[in-house]
């Protein structure tokens, strides 16, 4: 075992961690602030988590930033979130680029996403396209069912024969065909559900739920989650690998 920072086994770091950044509204309400203040406070949590992800050497970090269901929120909150995501890009893309981080956005780029934000998304993706240290994947206007529907639409449009519809054919038509499935999904704020996040990809992901509200989440919470992950047995439907029990704790 190659012990690295904070007792993490560096030889078994997950390649891909996906976070459901939840609890911003409750964080704000507890402080008598507007819900949008909670989203704003989530920025520090996000970029501290990104730093932690770089420290432990994750290859992929996916963050759920806006779901296909989040359009049902009050218009002011939706507008805030659109502007906020644009500001996140303008504030952080050069720094991320300098650190070798590739930025991706996964989700529907439909008419509901403001044009200016779309332009910033495209520019950020282009700026960082050749970076290989880590990919920061924003699930934005993202829905797991929408992703599967979009993949099925492509299968039909590509005239794929019935007998050729398999895991590989579907995977090739997901939003990020080269993305490894998340090894670990972390959801904050004490909610125990997926809320339409990466439905195809989480088939064998380990799940960790924490009561921490997203604006309070820091790299140490990511490290805690990774240590807990390293204590789990991933069997993928096979037989338990006994010798791994308790390792990495």
Q: Which residues of this protein are in contact with ligand IPE, per CB under 6 A?
A: 20-26, 64-67, 70, 81, 189, 191, 193, 195
Q: How far is the CB of 68 from Mg ion (least distance, A)?
A: 14
The answer to whether 97 is a known catalytic residue is no
Distance CA 6, CA 3 (A): 8
Q: Quick one: which segment of 18-26, 65-73, 123-131, 136-144 binds Mg ion (CB under 5 A)?
A: 18-26
Q: How far is the CB of 8 from ligand IPE (least distance, A)?
A: 25
Distance CA 172, CA 2 (A): 34
| 229 Cβ contact list (under 8 Å, min separation 6) | 14, 183, 184, 206, 208
Binding-site partner at residue 65 among Mg ion, ligand IPE, none, CB < 5 to 8 Å by type: ligand IPE
Nearer to ligand IPE, 22 or 221 (CB): 22
| 123 Cβ contact list (under 8 Å, min separation 6) | 89, 93
Q: Quick one: which segment of 3-11, 19-27, 131-139, 241-249 binds Mg ion (CB under 5 A)?
A: 19-27
Short-list 165, 178, 56, 45, CA closest to 106: 178
Nearer to Mg ion, 22 or 206 (CB): 22
Q: How far is the CB of 12 from ligand IPE (least distance, A)?
A: 27
Binding-site partner at residue 164 among ligand IPE, Mg ion, none, CB < 5 to 8 Å by type: none
Q: How far is the CB of 194 from ligand IPE (least distance, A)?
A: 8
* Per-residue binding letters, 116-155, with Mg ion (x by CB under 5 A): ----------------------------------------
The answer to whether 70 is a known catalytic residue is yes
Distance CA 20, CA 185 (A): 8
**How far is the CA of 129 from the CAs of 86, 96, 201, in angstroms?**
18, 12, 23
Distance CA 231, CA 226 (A): 9
Radius of gyration of the CA atoms of the chain, in A: 18
Single out the residue of 20, 22, 80, 185 in contact with Mg ion (rule: CB under 5 A). Answer: 22
Q: Give DSSP secondary structure letters for 78-105.
A: HHHHHHHHHHHHHHHHHHHHHTTEEEEE
For residue 108, the tally of other CB atoms under 10 A from its CB is 17
Q: Is residue 214 a contact point for Mg ion (CB under 5 A)?
A: no
Catalytic residue among 70, 83, 97, 131: 70
Dihedral sign from CA coordinates of 77, 82, 87, 92: positive
Binding-site partner at residue 83 among Mg ion, ligand IPE, none, CB < 5 to 8 Å by type: none
- Would you state the structure tokens that stand for residue 102, as one six-digit string? 């590739």
Active-site residue set: 22, 70
In the complex, the residues that contact Mg ion under the rule CB under 5 A are 22
């Amino acid at each position: 075992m190659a012990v690295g920072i904070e007792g993490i086994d560096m030889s078994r770091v997950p390649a891909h961690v996906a976070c459901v950044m939840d609890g911003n509204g409750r964080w704000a309400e507890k402080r008598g602030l507007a819900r949008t203040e909670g989203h704003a406070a989530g920025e520090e949590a996000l970029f501290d988590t990104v730093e932690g992800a770089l420290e432990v050497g994750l290859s992929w970090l996916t963050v759920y930033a806006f779901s296909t269901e989040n359009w049902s929120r009050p218009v002011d909150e939706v507008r805030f979130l659109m502007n906020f995501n644009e500001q996140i890009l303008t504030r952080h893309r050069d720094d991320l680029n300098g650190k070798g981080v590739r930025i991706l956005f996964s989700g529907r780029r439909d008419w509901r996403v403001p044009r200016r934000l779309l332009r910033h998304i495209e520019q950020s993706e282009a700026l960082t396209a050749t970076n290989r240290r880590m990919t920061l994947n924003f699930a934005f206007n993202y829905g797991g069912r929408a992703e599967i529907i979009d993949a099925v639409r492509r299968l039909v449009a590509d005239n794929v024969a019935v007998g050729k519809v398999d895991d590989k054919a579907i995977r090739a038509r997901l939003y990020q065909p080269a993305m490894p499935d998340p090894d670990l999904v972390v959801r904050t704020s004490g909610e125990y559900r997926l809320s339409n996040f990466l439905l195809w990809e989480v088939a064998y992901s380990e799940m960790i739920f924490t009561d921490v509200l997203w604006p309070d989440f820091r790299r140490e919470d990511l490290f805690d989650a990774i240590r807990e992950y390293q204590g789990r047995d991933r069997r993928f439907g096979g037989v338990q690998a006994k010798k791994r029990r308790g390792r990495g704790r």
